[in-house]
Structure 1
Amino acid sequence: MTIFHPTDFSASSHVAFRHALRLAFGLGTGLTIMHVGDGRTSREDWSRFPHIRETLARWNLVDPGISQAELEPLTGLRISKIEATGRNPVEVMSHYLDEHDVSMVVMATHGRSGMAAMQHPSVAQALARRIHRPFLFVREGVPGFVTADGSLRFNHVLLPVDSEPDPQLAVDQVTWLERELAASVGVVQALHVGDGPLGFPLAPPDLSNGALKSLSRPGRPEEVIPAIADENAADLIVMVYSGPASLSERWLGSTTEQVVRAAPCPVLALPAPRYE
C-alpha cells in the first residue's frame, strides 16, 4: 500500500503534504512524493522536498534524532522522493500511476471555477479523471483534518449519498479510517440531496463512539453539499464518484469536482467499482 503525493512546493501543497504524511504514518505504509519540473532546475536539489523526519519529530511521533535508516524499521513508513521532468504533469503522473500500485492520491487543488478554471485547468481533477484511484483533494485555504501539530480531527464527517453510485463504499471507508488510523470519529452524517429521503437503508459504520445521522435537503448537490459541510464544520467529505456523465458535466465538471471547488474541508473521492 502506498500513498502518492504530487507537489509543486507551494504553501497549498504543503497542507496536502501534511495530510499525505500523517495518513502514511498512521497506516504504516509507503509515501511517494513526486515533483514534475521542466528540467530547468537541478534534479539533485532534494532540499526543496518536504522534510519527513523533521515534521514527524515536530509532531512528537518520532524521536528528533531518528536517522533515515531507522525510519522504516521503527515506523513502517517507506519514503520515495521523485523529481520527474515533463511538459505535461498529468501525463507524467498518469504514466507513473499506471505502472505502480498506489492506493490513494493526496493532492492540493486551487478550487478554481468559471473563467479561471478554463484558463488554468486543475491538474488534480484532470489526473482524477484519468486514474481510477481514491483521491483526497485538499483545497487551497482549507486547514483540513490534520492539524498543525499532526493531530487527526474527525469530529464531523459528511457523506453525500444517493442510489447511484452505491454510497455504502463511503460508509465503509469511514469505518476503515477509524480502525486503521486509531482516530476517533464523531458524527457521521449521511446527506441526501433531493425532494425526499434516500429510500433505502445504509449499513451504519462500525465506529467506537460515532453516530450515524441522516439528512435530506432539496436543491442542487454541488451547492447543498458544501453548504451543509460549512454549517456543521465538517472535517471531511467522503463521496463516491463515477465521473462526468453528461455534456454539461464535461463542461462544468462532475458533481464531485464542483463540490471540491467549494467545500470548506478536504474531499475524499472514491471511484465507483467498475464491472466488466
Structure 2
Amino acid sequence: MYEKLLVPVDESSVEMALLPHACELALRFDAEVRLLHVADTARDSVTVTNDGLVDALEAAGRDVVDDAGEVLDTFGVEYTTDVVQGSPADTVAQYASEFDYDCIAMATHGRTGVARGLLGSVTEKVVRLADVPVLTLRGGDHDPLTFPYKRILVATDGSATADRAASHAFALAETLDASVHVVTVIDTAELGPDVRSVLDTSGARAAARETVGGVAGDAPEGVDVTTAVIDGKPSSALGEYAEANGIDAVVLGTTGRRGVDRILLGSVAEQTVRTASVPVITVGGE
C-alpha cells in the first residue's frame, strides 16, 4: 500500500504520537522511510544573513533527524535521513513528488522559529500542495490509536477528488481487512428549520443518499461498507460521527463541490486535519 513513506520532522516531533504511528505503518507495509527536516531559509531573517547561519540551521536539522531516528530505532524500523534548505511546505511537497514517495506522514502542531516551524500551519499547506496522500495526526493528548485500522471513514461529495479519496480508502481497507463508512454531510449549520425541512422534500437528501450509495458500489468485494447522510457543519459533523462510530482513520479529498447538499471539501479537509483525534489521510492530485 505504502512503499515509500516520507516523514517530515521538527524539534517537537519526538514528543508526538506521529512517529510511533509512522513506525507501525512502515512495519505493516514494509515501507522505505525517510526522515526529512527542512531548514527554513525562506524567512526574511534568514535570507539576509551569511552562509554561517545557514550551516547552523542545517546542523540543528541533523540533530532533529537524529533524535527522531532514535524513536524509529526503538521500533526496529530502518530509515534514511535528509536535511534540506527551503520553504518548509513547498519543499516537503516538491520533495515527495521528486523522489516518488507515495505517502507523507506529518503531525499537525509544531513549534515556531528559524530552525523550526515545520508543523502546524505548514502541515495544512502541505495538505493543499501535495500530489500524494498526506497522513496527518493531531499533536497533544488523545486516546490510544488503533492500528491496523478496523473502521475507516471516507467523506464524499461526489466530486472527482472525493472519488479518488474513496478509492484510496477502499484499497487501504482491503489491505488491512477494515470496514469503510462512506459519509456525506448536508451542510445545514447556517440554515433555519424551514430551509432544513425543504431540503428533506426537495430531493437533496435523496441525491445525497444516491451519492454515498454510488461510492459504496465501487468497494472491492469483501470490504464491508456502511453509508450515512448526516447534517451539520461538515468538519464538526464528521468528527462527531467518527467518535460515535469508533472510527480509526478518516480519508477525504482536499477539494470538492460547494452547496447545501454537498460536503465542503477543501477547507473542511484542513479543519478536519486540525481537529480530528484520529489519523486523517487527505488525497489530492489530479
Q: Scaled by the length of structure 1, what TM-score is found? A: 0.70
- For the 8 Å contact 2:9–2:37, the answer to whether it is kept is yes
- Post-superposition offset of 1:166: 5.2
Partner of 1:206: 220
- Post-superposition offset of 1:238: 0.8
Partner of 1:21: 23
Equivalent pairs, count: 231
Structure 1: how far apart are the matches of 2:233 and 2:94? 35
- For the 8 Å contact 1:32–1:79, the answer to whether it is kept is yes
2:184 pairs with 1:173: no
Partner of 2:37: 35
CA deviation digits over 1:219-261, x for unaligned, max 9? 2212211121122231101112227989xxxxxx711111212
Partner of 2:92: 93
What amino acid sits opposite 1:198 in the alignment?
Answer: R
Structure 1: how far apart are the matches of 2:105 and 2:256? 18
What amino acid sits opposite 2:185 in the alignment?
Answer: V
Structure 1: how far apart are the matches of 2:220 and 2:283? 19
Structure 2 vs 1, CA of residues 144 and 240 (structure 1 numbering), >3 Å: closer, same or farther? farther
- For the 8 Å contact 1:7–1:13, the answer to whether it is kept is no
Which structure has greater helix proportion? 2
Structure 2 vs 1, CA of residues 44 and 125 (structure 1 numbering), >3 Å: closer, same or farther? closer
Structure 2 vs 1, CA of residues 43 and 263 (structure 1 numbering), >3 Å: closer, same or farther? closer
SS of 2:239 mapped into structure 1: helix
Structure 1: how far apart are the matches of 2:61 and 2:279? 31
What amino acid sits opposite 2:84 in the alignment?
Answer: A
CA deviation digits over 1:108-159, x for unaligned, max 9? 0029xxxxxxxx9601111222222211111113658855xxxx24232111
Structure 2 vs 1, CA of residues 179 and 216 (structure 1 numbering), >3 Å: closer, same or farther? closer
Structure 1: how far apart are the matches of 2:173 and 2:257? 30
What amino acid sits opposite 2:184 in the alignment?
Answer: H
Partner of 2:11: 9
What amino acid sits opposite 2:74 in the alignment?
Answer: T
Structure 2: how far apart are the matches of 1:164 and 1:43? 40
Structure 2: how far apart are the matches of 1:244 and 1:21? 35
- Post-superposition offset of 1:6: 0.3
- For the 8 Å contact 1:3–1:29, the answer to whether it is kept is yes
Structure 2 vs 1, CA of residues 23 and 207 (structure 1 numbering), >3 Å: closer, same or farther? farther
Select 1:261's aligned residue among 244, 266, 274.
Answer: 274
- Post-superposition offset of 1:213: 1.1
Where structure 1 has 5 or more consecutive residues not aligned to the other structure, the ranges are 58-76, 112-119, 247-252
2:190 pairs with 1:188: no
Structure 1: how far apart are the matches of 2:133 and 2:247? 19
Partner of 2:46: none
2:254 pairs with 1:241: yes
CA deviation digits over 1:55-105, x for unaligned, max 9? 324xxxxxxxxxxxxxxxxxxx7622112344x322432442342111111
Find the structure with the greater CA-based Rg: 2
Partner of 1:126: 125
Select 2:66's aligned residue among 38, 42, 47.
Answer: 47
- Post-superposition offset of 1:214: 1.2
What amino acid sits opposite 2:83 in the alignment?
Answer: E
Partner of 1:70: none
Partner of 1:221: 234
SS of 1:234 mapped into structure 2: coil
Structure 2 vs 1, CA of residues 2 and 13 (structure 1 numbering), >3 Å: closer, same or farther? farther
Structure 1: how far apart are the matches of 2:94 and 2:246? 37
% identical equivalent positions: 23
Structure 1: how far apart are the matches of 2:246 and 2:280? 13
Structure 2 vs 1, CA of residues 44 and 199 (structure 1 numbering), >3 Å: closer, same or farther? closer
Q: Scaled by the length of structure 2, what TM-score is found? A: 0.68
Where structure 2 has 5 or more consecutive residues not aligned to the other structure, the ranges are 41-55, 111-118, 187-198, 200-204, 260-265
